Each structure stands twice: as C-alpha cells, then as structure tokens.
C-alpha cells in the first residue's frame, strides 16, 4: 500500500514538474514574441522617420 502511495506521489510530482516546465517554456516564447514585435515596431518607426527626413531634405 505504501509503495503504491509513494508511486502515485512520484507520478504526481513528475506531472507537476512537466507542467511547470511547459509553462516556463510558454512564458519564454511569449516574451520572445513580444520582444520581436517590439523590435519590428521600432524598425518600422525608424523607416518612417528616415522617409520623413528624406522628404524634408528633398
């Protein structure tokens, strides 16, 4: 009986660990996506600013 209980506890712990790892990975992916989006936005802004400056010059 005790062995069964221990096995169950171990399985539950493993499941919890896997879930935590998945959550962490998801969070990392979300952060990476956000960073990429921010970078793209900054790049777009820079391009727009450069275009505006070019127009001003011409």
H helices within 1-58, ranges in order?
2-57
Q: What is the pLDDT of residues 12-56, one digit of tens each?
A: 999 999 999 999 999 999 999 999 999 999 999 999 999 999 998
pLDDT at 12: 93
pLDDT at 30: 93
- pLDDT confidence of 3, banded at 50, 70, 90? confident
CA distances from 56 to 6, 46, 51, 53 (A): 74, 15, 9, 5
Residues in the chain: 58
The whole model's pTM is what?
Answer: 0.48
């Amino acid at each position: 009986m005790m062995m069964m209980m221990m096995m169950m506890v171990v399985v539950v712990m493993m499941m919890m660990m896997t879930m935590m790892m998945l959550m962490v990975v998801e969070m990392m992916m979300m952060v990476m996506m956000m960073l990429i989006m921010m970078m793209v936005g900054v790049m777009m802004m820079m391009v727009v600013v450069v275009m505006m400056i070019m127009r001003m010059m011409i």
